[in-house]
Amino acid sequence: MRSNSEILHASKAFAREDRLRSWMEILLTLFLSVAFFFSIVIADQLAIRLICSLACGLMYVRMFVIYHDYQHRAILQNSFIARFLMRAIGIYLLAPENIWSRSHEHHHNNNSKLTISGIGSYPTISKNRYLSLSKGQQRLYLINRHPLTILFAYFTLFVYWLNLKSFMQSPAKHLDSLFALVFHVAVGTAFLYFLGFTTFLLVWFIPFFLSFAIGAYLFYCQHNFAGAKFKESHDWTYVNAALASTSFMVMNPVMQWLTGNIGYHHVHHLNSRIPFYRLVEAKDNIPELKDAPTTSWHPLEIMRCLRVKLWDPEKDKMITMRELRKAVKFVKRKTFEVAQ
């Protein structure tokens, strides 16, 4: 069995981009996004407009993954054109560079580290810590992990957390967050005023709502699933967090393309410098990456991921609120029996 350092070293062979391929991927994604965008505006039939609206939202998911790869310095580095383009994409997708790169880098460096896993990701705490919280703190924790919080990520994650909250906490550091919000509201308002409510919904609201909901769930489920492992800082290692605490999300080829191979998330967490179009190659050639914990788009699998709420160190697994209530009742019953 290879050591962690040997596994990391093996991954470096795939952390080399094909510059032409990178440009082709981003330009194709931009072209399709723009094509669907304008098709919504000019098409006559509502059904066609709706299909183009949904397709546009899916292309935004792919665009976000490519932007995310650029922020990891996996593609298109040392290019003035790419620098300008990616900053513009970050503003457009309500993920401005300053807050995204800072919070996401922290997430990668502390993935599945129990004490600080909520910074730059959905919070995860232990069963005992949850029980020690006040009722208000418990409610806030569960709200942060609630399915509706993920579904409405347009507002909860992108409008509020990435932009409004970051700017309010540090205006000088996050002026780009304010700019992204103002730009987004201004353009959306212009569509509403000049082109009407239906066009506003189809060309602006639905694509962003869909893409942000999908993105938020992908981010959640690839670190919050039944087999995920969380560790305290003293037991945590970077490689183990990638291999045992990050999932491989099984998808069909179409969804795999639309999500920019982000389902190979354990590979990405092992080495974030691997371009998204080489993640499959890396998984196929590094033996330690072939037996990753898996999840999928199956409705039952989605329900399983959404139900787990807390880390139970005694059982060494994520547990649901139902399991927590059963455990608490058991302890109370045992305590009562001893008292008798």
DSSP string, 73-101: TSSSTT-HHHHHHHHHHHHHTT--HHHHH
pLDDT at 104: 84
More confident residue, 236 or 51: 51
pLDDT at 196: 96
Burial label for 26, CB within 10 Å (0-12, 13-18, 19+), is buried
pLDDT of residue 120 exceeding 70, the answer is no
pLDDT at 116: 59
pLDDT of residue 234 exceeding 90, the answer is no
The tokens for 169 are: 């906490």
CA distance 113 to 32: 38
pLDDT at 57: 98
pLDDT at 336: 47
pTM, to two decimals: 0.93
pLDDT at 106: 81
pLDDT of residue 117 exceeding 70, the answer is no
Average pLDDT over residues 105-120: 74
pLDDT band at 51 (very low <50, low <70, confident <90, very high): very high
The percentage of residues in the chain with a pLDDT greater than 70, rounded to a whole number, is 95
pLDDT of residue 118 exceeding 70, the answer is no
pLDDT band at 103 (very low <50, low <70, confident <90, very high): confident
pLDDT band at 330 (very low <50, low <70, confident <90, very high): low
pLDDT at 327: 82
The Cα diameter of the chain in Å comes to 77
pLDDT of residue 139 exceeding 90, the answer is yes
The tokens for 138 are: 């418990």
pLDDT of residue 47 exceeding 90, the answer is yes
